[in-house]
């Protein structure tokens, strides 16, 4: 019995030692792994890149992101330099309400913001760790499924994403943010889970520890060397949600005036139940870039805002047809809008897409 006890203690000690020497991958390595990008041989995740599941994942993402980069994003950059060069200037903060994890497009339109503040009802999830995923093939396929619509039509399908983000072992919005950062040639320096107290103050916190949950990702843009930060918060920004918990809007107010980006926001700000966030955007933005699902055009006082129109307005898709804007049709007819031959928002057909740029006078 004594020898058996000694053997068991030795075995447990060895297992514990093995667990200690297995380093957890840093967030940047994890982001590159999830984004199916090359890793250094010294990375603890390197061995997993030999797994057929990861190699299939790599083939899928290489094709999807290459097609996106060569097509829609290349067109966007040409259009941006001609029609919206001010979006390339350094700005203090970019607000993207109702964003979910869609960092891709706010980064494309406003690449030089110091801080990006994003929010949605989707949970953040724990820090992803591929070394502890039980079924890698299943998890990576679910990550692909959660991102498929955004890579093809430019927006997340909320109901589909909700299922995928809850079911996969790489769950929550954080894995998607990681993928977009890695694919945009960013190096993640630190990932910090935070919560907001009732006054909107930020505190470092364990995931799900109370308050308004969020995550801060500090990263470096490799092309420019600029150090930047994303915040993503899980919160309800309806009037009722803000009334019950104003912490997120107080946090945003601390960051002052910047720019706002709105895309595929379900026409929520057409409803009076979203007046508070609509007013916040109008009061805290020098530039608003949006499709027709953002703020109704009637809320932009033309004595305060210069409005520029791009593409063509054919009205909302069938699901949102009640939000048709006669005034926007009129403005498109008299403004001789410049082209915008890019599928954007709910109008993924580039021949029907629209973009409105509002610049404060």
pLDDT tens-place string over residues 278-321? 999 999 999 999 999 999 999 999 999 999 999 999 999 999 99
Q: Which of 52-56, 76-80, 148-152, 195-199 has the lowest mean pLDDT?
A: 148-152
CA distance 170 to 18: 24
Give the single-character DSSP code of 235. Answer: -
Whether residue 61 is predicted with pLDDT greater than 90 in this model: the reply is yes
Q: Which of 12-26, 29-43, 163-177, 260-274 has the lowest mean pLDDT?
A: 12-26
**Residue 290 CB partners (closer than 8 Å, separation 6+):** 260, 261, 262, 263, 265, 355, 356, 358
Question: Distance from first CA to last CA of the chain, Å, rounded?
Answer: 85
Q: What is the pLDDT of residue 148?
A: 86
The radius of gyration of the chain from alpha carbons, rounded to an integer in Å, stands at 22
User: Helix-strand-coil percent breakdown of the chain, rounded to 5?
Assistant: 45, 20, 35
Give the single-character DSSP code of 302. Answer: T
CB-based contacts of 132-140 (< 8 A; 24+ apart in sequence): 133/169, 133/170, 134/169, 135/169, 136/48, 136/51, 136/53, 136/54, 137/52, 137/53, 137/56, 138/168, 138/169, 139/168, 139/169, 139/170, 140/34, 140/53, 140/54, 140/56, 140/57, 140/170
Alpha helices in 153-274 (DSSP H): 158-167, 174-183, 239-244, 247-254
**At 18, is the secondary structure helix, strand, or coil?**
helix
Reported as a pLDDT band with limits 50, 70 and 90, residue 5 is very low
Rounded mean pLDDT, 211-237: 97
Phi and psi angles of residue 39, each rounded to the nearest 5 degrees, phi first:
-125, 150
Structure-block tokens of residue 273: 């139940």
Reported as a pLDDT band with limits 50, 70 and 90, residue 208 is low
Q: What is the pLDDT of residue 310?
A: 97
Q: Which of 5-14, 21-30, 99-108, 237-246 has the lowest mean pLDDT?
A: 5-14
Q: What angle do CA 13, 18, 24 make, to 5 degrees?
A: 135
Whether residue 249 is predicted with pLDDT greater than 80 in this model: the reply is yes
Residue 313: count of CB within 10 angstroms of its CB = 25
Q: What percent of the chain has pLDDT over 70?
A: 88
Reported as a pLDDT band with limits 50, 70 and 90, residue 202 is very high
Mean pLDDT (the chain) is: 89
Q: What is the pLDDT of residue 171?
A: 82
How many Cα neighbours within 13 Å face the side chain of 243?
Answer: 6
Q: What is the pLDDT of residue 23?
A: 56
Its pTM stands at 0.90
CA distance 32 to 4: 45
Question: Are the C-beta atoms of 215 and 174 separated by less than 8 Å?
Answer: yes
Whether residue 14 is predicted with pLDDT greater than 70 in this model: the reply is no
Q: What is the pLDDT of residue 345?
A: 87
Return the top range by mean pLDDT from 146-150, 190-194, 206-210: 190-194
Q: Which of 59-63, 96-100, 171-175, 348-352 has the lowest mean pLDDT?
A: 348-352
Reported as a pLDDT band with limits 50, 70 and 90, residue 155 is low
Rounded mean pLDDT, 208-237: 94
Q: Which residue has the tokens 């008299």?
A: 334
Q: What is the pLDDT of residue 15?
A: 37
Q: Is 36 left (phi over 0), alpha (psi -120 to 50) or beta?
A: left
Structure-block tokens of residue 144: 């692909």
Whether residue 330 is predicted with pLDDT greater than 60 in this model: the reply is yes
């Amino acid at each position: 019995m004594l020898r058996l006890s000694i053997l068991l203690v030795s075995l447990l000690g060895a297992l514990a030692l093995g667990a200690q020497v297995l380093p957890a991958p840093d967030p940047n390595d994890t982001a590159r792994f999830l984004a199916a990008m090359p890793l250094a041989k010294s990375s603890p995740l390197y061995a997993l890149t030999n797994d057929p599941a990861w190699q299939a994942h790599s083939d899928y993402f290489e094709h999807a992101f290459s097609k996106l980069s060569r097509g829609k994003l290349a067109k966007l950059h040409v259009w941006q330099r001609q029609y919206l060069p001010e979006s390339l200037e350094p700005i203090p903060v970019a607000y993207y309400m109702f964003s979910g994890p869609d960092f891709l497009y706010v980064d494309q339109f406003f690449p030089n913001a110091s801080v990006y503040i994003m929010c949605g009802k989707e949970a953040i999830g724990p820090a992803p760790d591929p070394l502890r995923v039980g079924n890698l093939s299943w998890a990576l396929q679910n990550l692909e499924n959660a991102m498929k619509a955004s890579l093809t039509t430019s927006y997340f399908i909320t109901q589909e994403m909700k299922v995928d983000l809850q079911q996969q072992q790489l769950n929550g919005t954080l894995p998607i943010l990681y993928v977009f950062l890695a694919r945009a040639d960013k190096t993640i320096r630190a990932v910090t889970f935070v919560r907001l107290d009732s006054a909107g103050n930020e505190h470092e916190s364990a995931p799900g520890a109370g308050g308004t949950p969020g995550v801060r990702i500090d990263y470096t843009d490799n092309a420019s060397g600029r150090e930047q930060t994303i915040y993503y918060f899980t919160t309800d920004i309806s009037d009722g949600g803000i009334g019950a918990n104003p912490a997120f809007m107080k946090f945003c107010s601390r960051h002052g005036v910047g720019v706002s980006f709105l895309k595929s926001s379900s026409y929520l700000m057409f409803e009076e139940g979203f007046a508070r966030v609509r007013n916040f955007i109008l009061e805290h933005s020098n530039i608003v870039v949006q499709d027709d699902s953002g703020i109704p055009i009637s809320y932009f006082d033309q004595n305060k805002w210069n409005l520029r129109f791009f593409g063509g307005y054919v009205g909302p898709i069938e699901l949102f047809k009640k939000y048709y804007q006669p005034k926007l049709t009129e403005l498109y007819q008299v403004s001789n809008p410049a082209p915008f031959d890019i599928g954007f928002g709910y109008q993924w057909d580039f021949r029907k897409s629209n973009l409105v740029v509002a610049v404060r006078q």
